Amino acid sequence: MSKTKKTRIRIAQPWITEHEIQYVNDAVKNGWGNHSSDYIKKLEKEFSSLHKTQYAVATSSCTGATHMALKAMGIGSGDEVILPEITWASCPSAVIYTGAKPVFVDVKENTWCIDPKKILEAITPKTKVIMPVHVYGNVCEMDEIMKIADRFDLKVIEDAAEALGSEYKDQKVGSIGDCGVFSFHGTKMATSGEGGIFITNNKKLFDDFNILHDQGRIPEEEKFFYPHKLGYKYKISNLQAAIACAQIERLEELVNKKNQIFYWYKNLLQDINFIDMNHQQEYVKNSYWMPTIVFDKSVNINRDDLMKYLDKKGIDSRPFFYPLSSLPMFKKVKKNNISYSLSNRGIYLPSAFYLSKEDINYIVEAIKEYLFDKPLRV
């Protein structure tokens, strides 16, 4: 295949319809004064209803939601938070903001999510929180994780930033731990451009989170500008919430399109026996937010070289997350072998909502051209 795609194929792009535009126009025209939080309240109500939780608080980002969740749990200097090697850097960043220490543990080979057995090995008297991350739409083994948390009296912050719409044993991810956090970044399943949300069934955790979210003001204080403690400014705007509301109301449609894109890839790549894609356990519903391929260890493929080849063909791609402990600001955890191996062998592929079957055909043809027009060392 010698031709290059005339219109570049993007890794991600939201699906905006007249429904989102109508809500935003309404927020622009009418969402001020006494109505300045109407869409924020609507988003929180609809999101908590969707996840069957009692409480939800919309935020400016998932990172902010995670930071405040940790602070609301009382996490600080001297504490440890266990999280997977394979996730985005915002997870340990939020831990470090509190003064606590992130502890990186290895992931499972099939799900790419945190390994409960490795959690057990990492627990110390300083451990206070487990933060499972449902990476790329894949789902963590939540029953095992919750049993460990109960046994050692630990809190669980469920990071579902990349897995909105995924389910574990008929429960929405994010609703199983003590709390869940989600992202509305422009690349995510549902977007507000930038944004996030926190959910929980724990009233005390919700109340403490809300005080921090309101810059330290408490509900019973009658004086207007009188906070009782240091809080944070992680607010979402009514305009952003308007977009997110419309997206959440269309969530089933969005998840169905992501599934369609994933299975177009899977069907076209199924004849290549040295490629694995996103895993779905029999008791899990994977939203397939980001179609990801991992090459078998027995095949010598230069992941970065493949990405450069796709780039020349007008196709975006991204590398599998680097292990967190491989980053310059952290100390390498050499025993996390699976994470280090996966990182070198994986890329994720375009899944923008506008992609057609013809686009996916073009991408797969480019991958196969790269793989089979040059000798593979097996």
The residue among 83, 176, 194, 166 whose CA lies nearest residue 129 is 83
The half-sphere exposure of 102 on its side-chain side, counting CA atoms within 13 A, is: 28
The residue among 116, 168, 115 whose CA lies nearest residue 137 is 168
In contact, 255 and 248? CB cutoff 8 Å = no
**Which residues form the catalytic set?**
188
Distance of CA 261 to the CA centre of its chain: 18
The residue among 198, 213, 260, 218 whose CA lies nearest residue 57 is 198
Q: Where are the alpha helices (DSSP H) in 250-326?
A: 251-269, 303-312
Tell me the backbone φ, ψ of residue 213, rounded to 5 degrees: -65, -25
The residue among 244, 239, 237 whose CA lies nearest residue 192 is 244
In contact, 324 and 331? CB cutoff 8 Å = no
Strand partners, 9: 315
Coil, helix or strand at residue 295: strand
Encode 226-247 in three state secondary structure.
Answer: CCCCCCCCCCCCHHHHHHHHHH
Number of separate helices (H) and strands (E) present in the chain: 12, 14
Q: Which two tokens stand for residue 114?
A: 């945190």
